[in-house]
Amino acid sequence: MYAMATRMSARSILPYVAATLGLLSAAGSAQPTEQLPRVHILATGGTIASVYDPAKGGFVASLTADQLIAAAPGISKHATITYEQVANIGSADMNPTVWLQLRQRVDAVLSDPAVAGVVVTHGTDTLEETAYFLDLTIGSDKPVVMVGSQRAASLPDTDGPRNLLDAIRVAVSPESVGMGTIVVLGGKINAAREVTKTSTIELETFKSLEFGALGVVDVDGVRFYRRPLRRQHVALPSHPQLGRVEIVNHYAGNEGLILRQLLHGPEPFGQPGSRDGLVIAGTGLGNVGERMFEAVREALDRGVPCVVSTRVPTGRQMPLYASPGSGKSLVQAGCNLSDNLSPQKARVLLMVLLAVTRDPAEIRQFLQR
């Protein structure tokens, strides 16, 4: 089940990494020391595992967990590493099936008293969604650390090895206990609920725009300066079926055509095996236009749970305006506001809630906590 890091060889990564990084020794970098805390790495692919493929003319997620460990300098000074490969995909292809596999493995690994924490390597495109899913569904107080990179492993300026080392250091820090799932990139530690990717290419892309980082990973240690107080937990059943939830954006001139297509198309809302939840990415405080509002009310009349978020990067949704399609009218019609969750995180939360209840009152009660 577990593969000890001493079994791996750095040879297969040398053509990609050693020539550019100069970080590897022939023996690799994760010799286990039983006196050190144990950290289990779950690898899923992403840029951190990507190298240039001349035949395809671009970067492809192909490095495995043992190769990532081999490229991380000084990792054996901080923890005994075990690892496994859960997937090897770009995070644009991340999906609920892999989320559930990750959750199952994280739960199983953290139940081992010898394991101090888990590190999940992941592509940055959807990292915040996976992080929030795990934060909602993992019950252990042990740290779960999400990490990735903005530069591919075969580039001379790759940030993957340093980020992985930082993630290991955070996973073994006693201060990380009780913080839930956290994201570590660029020397910053951010809460899963609050963090978002802010740049397509800059190294320090993950930021908590409203509240700032939880802490930092410095040369002399890991330092936390605050705790995430808005964490929530949903206890999933043994074999959960996550809800299928769509996000529909509002924009100037939107007449609700996309939402109506979802309502009347080949897989209409509310039918068995079809979509069963809706997130509206509204404008401002959580508003839509009158024509879009008519389509939303049609979805609500069909019993489709609806959560309203906003396109705006920061701030809560509040029902302050009273015109048709405003936040107030949406709530009166039966929608729920997402507090300060982004549309993609509101979707994750609704997917998880639909795995345990279809009762509108229970969904609203949870969202208002």
SS3 (DSSP) at 47: helix
Q: Which range marks the domain in which residue 18 is found?
A: 3-224
Amino acid at 321: Y
- The beta strands (E) that lie in the chain are given as 3-4, 38-45, 50-53, 58-61, 80-89, 115-121, 144-147, 181-185, 188-191, 196-197, 206-207, 215-218, 221-224, 245-249, 277-282, 306-310, 336-337
Same domain for 291 and 198 = no
Residues assigned a catalytic role: 47
Has residue 18 got a pLDDT over 80?
A: no
- Residue 35: give its domain's CATH number: 3.40.50.1170
Number of domains in the chain: 2
Cβ(289)–Cβ(250) under 8 Å?
A: yes
Same domain for 59 and 205 = yes
Please indicate whether residue 96 or residue 267 has the higher confidence score (pLDDT).
Answer: 96
Same domain for 209 and 254 = no
For the stretch 96-117, pLDDT in tens is 999 999 999 999 999 999 999 9
Q: What is the pTM of this model?
A: 0.90
For the stretch 186-221, pLDDT in tens is 999 999 999 999 999 999 999 999 999 999 999 999
| pLDDT of amino acid 162 | 97
- Residue 287: give its domain's CATH number: 3.40.50.40
Cβ(123)–Cβ(94) under 8 Å?
A: yes
DSSP string, 119-181: EEE--SSSHHHHHHHHHHH---SS-EEEE--SS-TTSTT--HHHHHHHHHHHHT-GGGTTS-E
Tokens 């903005």 -> residue: 150
**337 assigned to some structural domain:** yes
Average pLDDT along the chain? 90
Amino acid at 356: V
| pLDDT of amino acid 44 | 98
User: What would the mean pLDDT of 71-78 be, rounded to a whole number?
Assistant: 91
Same domain for 192 and 282 = no
User: Beta partners for 168?
Assistant: none
Cβ(62)–Cβ(105) under 8 Å?
A: no
